[in-house]
């Protein structure tokens, strides 16, 4: 009995300690969440040229060894002090950087703005994309500056990706050359975005295409009917609801919804013909997808290479600025978005929605 009493007392203490810890953690999480809510939106600009130079210096130091690295540094410092043996040909290295000579003195080098878009079913990153593009347009020089968008998206809801594509169209309308780089996937709504670009660069095994519209919905009407459960669906407007989850679907409703899908598909094709008129839509707008090399042959992509190679090469002739706009979100909001994304792929509780 004494052993049981001691064990019970120990267990009670343990439970009490755990409760105290949970309360403390919850309080801290609440404070952090509130501080994040108060944190303003943030626009970050990072010069990628500096990143590549640091990488080069690090690997050079490791490969050439400390002695050679110090000798190289002393040589540069000698030029900086006005060493006459350096010659005018090395003016670019006098700044202490590994950049070409003209890079340190040319104040009008081309600017290339780099954006990154990772899409989900709602294209929720469009909220950041629209602000990033607005920021670029405040300073960009038409016909001189360029934009590279590193895009990855399997597609999603029609209105969401229509808005995302329209945001990219703003860049072209302002006279900025636009390149979209696809390393993994730009399908359906993702390809709609990519098609706006002047040039599409794709990795050899990136997935492109899927030019089609799809919608699916489970129907529980017969199961409810077997259990004597009635569902009343009242609408004002003949086609306010065509297909439902719980009610009885009709041939007329199916026909109308099919018409809506066809209309969305026709608009998709019209949009593509505007920006990529060379596409054979009868061949590629079938809902199929293709890997990079196949997509290149079909005209869905203009060049085969990775975004890494594209950015590195571009950095040798232009100043690269990566633009990122972040808007703090509560943890509960992020969890909700993740859950919504999962649920929407399985069930459309408010009726079917067309998806690119």
d(CA 195, CA 86): 49
What average pLDDT does the structure give for the chain? 83
pLDDT in tens, 173-200: 999 999 999 999 999 999 999 999 999 9
Asked if pLDDT for residue 93 goes beyond 50, the answer is no
pTM: 0.75
Mean pLDDT of the region 68-87: 60
Asked if pLDDT for residue 235 goes beyond 50, the answer is yes
d(CA 119, CA 161): 9
Mean pLDDT of the region 69-98: 51
Backbone angles phi, psi at 111, to 5 degrees: -110, 135
Q: Is CATH 3.90.226.10 the classification given to domain 111-215+255-346?
A: yes
pLDDT confidence of residue 35: 55
Query: Lowest-pLDDT range, 87-91, 214-218, 252-256?
Result: 87-91
pLDDT confidence of residue 24: 75
pLDDT confidence of residue 101: 38
pLDDT confidence of residue 125: 94
Greatest mean pLDDT among 19-33, 163-177, 316-330 = 163-177
Which one, of 114, 107, 111, lies nearest residue 141 by Cα? 111
Query: Lowest-pLDDT range, 124-138, 173-187, 325-339?
Result: 325-339
Instruction: Say which of 128, 153, 188, 210 is annotated catalytic.
Output: 188
More confident residue, 271 or 351: 271
In the chain, where the domains are located? 43-105, 111-215+255-346
Q: What percent of the chain has pLDDT over 90?
A: 54
Asked if pLDDT for residue 214 goes beyond 80, the answer is yes
Instruction: Say which of 13, 34, 47, 240 is annotated catalytic.
Output: 240
CA 326 from centre of chain: 13
Identify the band that residue 90 occupies on the pLDDT scale cut at 50, 70 and 90.
very low
Mean pLDDT of the region 258-274: 96
What are the tokens at 273?
Answer: 């013909």
- Could you tell me if 25 and 331 are in contact, meaning their C-beta atoms sit under 8 angstroms apart? no
Identify the band that residue 34 occupies on the pLDDT scale cut at 50, 70 and 90.
low
d(CA 145, CA 110): 6
Query: Lowest-pLDDT range, 18-32, 132-146, 283-297?
Result: 18-32
**3-class DSSP state for residue 6?**
helix
Mean pLDDT of the region 57-85: 69
Q: Is 349 a catalytic residue?
A: no
User: Between the CA atoms of 340, 344, 346 and 351, what dihedral angle is there, to the nearest 10 degrees?
Assistant: 130
pLDDT confidence of residue 19: 77
Q: Is 124 a catalytic residue?
A: no
pLDDT confidence of residue 194: 98
Alpha carbon of 329 to those of 35, 41, 144, 217, 337: distances in Å? 11, 10, 36, 31, 11
Asked if pLDDT for residue 316 goes beyond 90, the answer is yes
């Amino acid at each position: 009995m004494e052993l049981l009493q001691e064990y019970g007392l120990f267990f009670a203490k343990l439970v009490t300690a755990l409760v105290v810890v949970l309360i403390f953690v919850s309080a801290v999480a609440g404070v952090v969440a509130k501080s994040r809510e108060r944190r303003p939106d943030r626009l970050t600009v990072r010069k990628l040229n500096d990143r590549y130079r640091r990488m080069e210096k690090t690997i050079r130091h490791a490969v050439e060894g400390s002695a050679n690295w110090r000798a190289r540094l002393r040589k540069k410092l000698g030029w900086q002090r006005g060493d006459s043996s350096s010659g005018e040909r090395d003016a670019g290295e006098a700044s202490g950087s590994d950049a070409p000579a003209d890079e340190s003195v040319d104040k009008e080098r081309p600017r290339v703005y780099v954006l990154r878009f990772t899409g989900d079913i709602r294209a929720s990153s469009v909220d950041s994309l629209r602000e990033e593009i607005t920021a670029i347009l405040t300073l960009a020089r038409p016909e001189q500056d360029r934009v590279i968008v590193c895009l990855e998206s399997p597609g999603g809801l029609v209105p969401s990706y229509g808005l995302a594509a329209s945001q990219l169209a703003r860049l072209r309308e302002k006279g900025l050359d636009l390149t979209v780089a696809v390393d993994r996937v730009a399908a359906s709504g993702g390809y709609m975005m990519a098609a706006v670009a002047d040039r599409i660069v794709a990795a050899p095994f990136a997935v492109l295409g899927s030019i089609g519209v799809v919608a699916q919905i489970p129907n529980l009407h017969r199961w409810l009917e077997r259990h004597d459960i009635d569902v009343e669906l009242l609408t004002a407007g003949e086609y306010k609801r065509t297909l439902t989850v719980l009610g009885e679907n009709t041939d007329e409703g199916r026909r109308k919804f099919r018409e809506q899908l066809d209309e969305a598909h026709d608009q998709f094709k019209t949009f593509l013909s505007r920006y990529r008129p060379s596409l054979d839509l009868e061949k590629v707008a079938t809902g199929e997808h293709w890997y990079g090399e196949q997509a290149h042959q079909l005209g869905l992509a203009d060049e085969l290479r990775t975004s890494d190679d594209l950015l590195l090469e571009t950095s040798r002739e232009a100043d690269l600025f990566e633009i990122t706009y972040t808007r703090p979100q509560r943890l509960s909001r992020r969890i909700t978005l993740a859950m919504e994304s999962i649920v929407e792929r399985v069930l459309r509780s408010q009726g079917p929605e067309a998806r690119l």
